């Protein structure tokens, strides 16, 4: 959640008007600032599945769990298209269409998992791993092949801007293989109830296996990502090319590259202590609350910074793609703003975490 804020601060505050993954224009510092945030979405999706698996392990019935996942999923989709959409643009104008991004994918995956959890665990594991490992076989299939049904393929596998009379919006998070990632987390969830050091050893083994698989498959350079790596002008740029995997949709190699180290980190940091750990744990207890607040806070700070630079406020009342030329800052300011955002959000998150700890109202499980 903290690194996610870094990505969005960079989106709204950067002076660079190109994607950090563009190796012909980027710098190592800018590339790695973007790259480290790649861990956010896969880890969040995986841990959402882990949480669902733990809920089942603790005795929640399949029927009750399915009902919760359906209602929670519908709630996330509704908020994606309303409160979150307004936060990105600071206006109620839907002429640009909807945004099919993180909460949309989480919501639909939860609804899908509401049915999938009724499958035998081994069958769900095969389905999840198959979706993650094999979906790149379909990279060559494009939406225009399906005519009137093209938007369905965009929602499933190929990101695009959809402009149809019945549907308009930008799809950045198609559902495949995200639902496989959440399902894999559901399968792994009960492992976290094992006693230490068995839990730690198994998590380290899974994480190391995924990380090694990334290195080997990426080195072979024939499958797992639509963009092969290539030799660049220097060793560091060649290394960046090796790490430059596809997020939209997440390729097999993107998921191996991010989930492997994330699971290793989970095993190594579960006993972390100190002020930094306390801040991160507090935010992690109320991730959805933090998510909603951070969008509005970052965009508000962007408006303030733009006015201070001499721009009109209305020029900043757009998403980060539409920010005016000449606005923006270097990485030093971006990192300073990011740290400030995380520290500011700690206090409302601490308050809300306390509310959730003291009360057991059903509605609190939706925030």
Q: pLDDT of 264-318, one tens digit each?
A: 999 999 888 999 999 999 999 999 999 999 999 999 999 999 999 999 999 999 9
- Please give the pLDDT value at position 151: 96
Percent of the chain with pLDDT over 90: 91
Closest CA to 18 of 328, 270, 314, 364: 328
Q: Would you say residue 357 has pLDDT above 90?
A: no
Residue 307: count other Cβ atoms within 10 Å of its Cβ. Answer: 13
Tokens of 243: 């790490």
Q: What are the CA-CA distances from residue 193 to residues 9, 47, 114, 135, 202 (Å)? A: 36, 14, 22, 31, 12
- Please give the pLDDT value at position 94: 84
Q: Would you say residue 362 has pLDDT above 80?
A: no
- Please give the pLDDT value at position 271: 87
Q: Would you say residue 165 has pLDDT above 80?
A: yes
Query: Which tens digit of pLDDT belongs to each residue from 320-346?
Result: 989 999 999 999 999 999 999 999 999
Question: Which whole number is the average pLDDT over 151-170?
Answer: 95
Q: What letter does residue 81 receive in the DSSP assignment?
A: I
Q: Would you say residue 364 has pLDDT above 80?
A: no
Query: Which tens digit of pLDDT belongs to each residue from 3-38?
Result: 999 999 999 999 998 999 999 999 999 999 999 999
Rounded Cα distance, 211 and 13, in Å: 32
Cα-Cα-Cα-Cα torsion 235, 236, 239, 245, nearest 10 degrees, comes to -140
Query: Which tens digit of pLDDT belongs to each residue from 94-130?
Result: 888 999 999 999 999 999 999 999 999 999 999 999 9
Q: Would you say residue 359 has pLDDT above 90?
A: no
Q: What are phi and psi of 311, to 5 degrees?
A: -85, 160
**Strands of 167-171's sheet in order across:** 98-100, 167-171, 160-164
Do 228 and 219 contact (CB within 8 A), yes or no?
no
Closest CA to 367 of 77, 72, 151: 72
- Please give the pLDDT value at position 365: 74
pLDDT higher at 93 or 269: 269
Residue that has been written with the tokens 């959805």 in this structure: 288
When mean pLDDT is compared across 168-182, 208-222, 269-283, the lowest value belongs to 269-283
When mean pLDDT is compared across 82-86, 352-356, 357-361, the lowest value belongs to 357-361
- Please give the pLDDT value at position 185: 97
Tokens of 259: 């989930």
Rounded Cα distance, 15 and 334, in Å: 10
Q: Would you say residue 159 has pLDDT above 80?
A: yes
* pTM of the complete model: 0.95
- Please give the pLDDT value at position 169: 95
Tokens of 144: 């225009």
Helix or strand run (H / E) with residue 152: helix 150-156
Rounded Cα distance, 76 and 288, in Å: 9
Do 20 and 303 contact (CB within 8 A), yes or no?
no
- Please give the pLDDT value at position 59: 87
Closest CA to 204 of 260, 257, 253, 252: 260
């Amino acid at each position: 959640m903290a690194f996610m804020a870094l990505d969005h601060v960079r989106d709204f505050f950067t002076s660079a008007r190109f994607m950090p993954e563009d190796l012909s224009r980027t710098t190592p510092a800018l590339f790695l600032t973007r790259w480290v945030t790649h861990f956010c979405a896969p880890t969040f999706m995986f841990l959402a599945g882990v949480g669902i698996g733990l809920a089942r392990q603790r005795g929640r019935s399949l029927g009750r769990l399915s009902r919760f996942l359906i209602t929670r999923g519908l709630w996330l989709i509704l908020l994606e298209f309303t409160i979150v959409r307004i936060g990105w643009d600071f206006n109620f104008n839907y002429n640009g269409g909807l945004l099919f991004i993180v909460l949309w994918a989480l919501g639909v995956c939860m609804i899908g998992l509401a049915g999938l959890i009724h499958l035998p665990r081994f069958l769900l594991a095969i389905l999840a791993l198959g979706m993650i490992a094999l979906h790149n076989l379909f990279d060559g299939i494009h939406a225009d092949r399906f005519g009137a049904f093209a938007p369905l393929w965009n929602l499933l596998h190929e990101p695009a801007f959809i402009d149809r009379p019945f549907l308009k919006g930008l799809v950045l998070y198609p559902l495949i293989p995200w639902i496989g990632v959440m399902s894999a987390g559901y399968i792994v969830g009960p492992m976290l109830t094992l006693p230490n050091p068995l839990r730690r050893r198994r998590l380290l083994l899974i994480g190391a296996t995924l990380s090694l698989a990334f290195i080997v498959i990426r080195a072979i350079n024939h499958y797992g990502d639509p963009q092969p790596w290539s030799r660049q002008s220097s060793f560091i740029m060649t290394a960046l090319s090796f790490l430059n995997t596809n997020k939209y949709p997440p390729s097999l190699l993107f998921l191996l590259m991010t989930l492997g180290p994330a699971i290793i980190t989970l095993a190594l940091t579960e006993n972390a202590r100190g002020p930094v750990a306390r801040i991160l744990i507090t935010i992690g207890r109320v991730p959805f609350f933090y998510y909603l607040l951070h969008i509005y806070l970052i965009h508000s700070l962007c408006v303030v910074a733009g006015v201070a630079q001499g721009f009109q406020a209305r020029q900043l009342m757009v998403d980060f793609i539409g920010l005016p030329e000449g606005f923006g800052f270097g990485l030093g300011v971006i990192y300073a703003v990011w740290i400030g955002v995380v520290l500011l959000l700690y206090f409302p998150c601490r308050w809300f975490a306390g509310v959730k700890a003291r009360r057991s109202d059903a509605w609190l499980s939706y925030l």
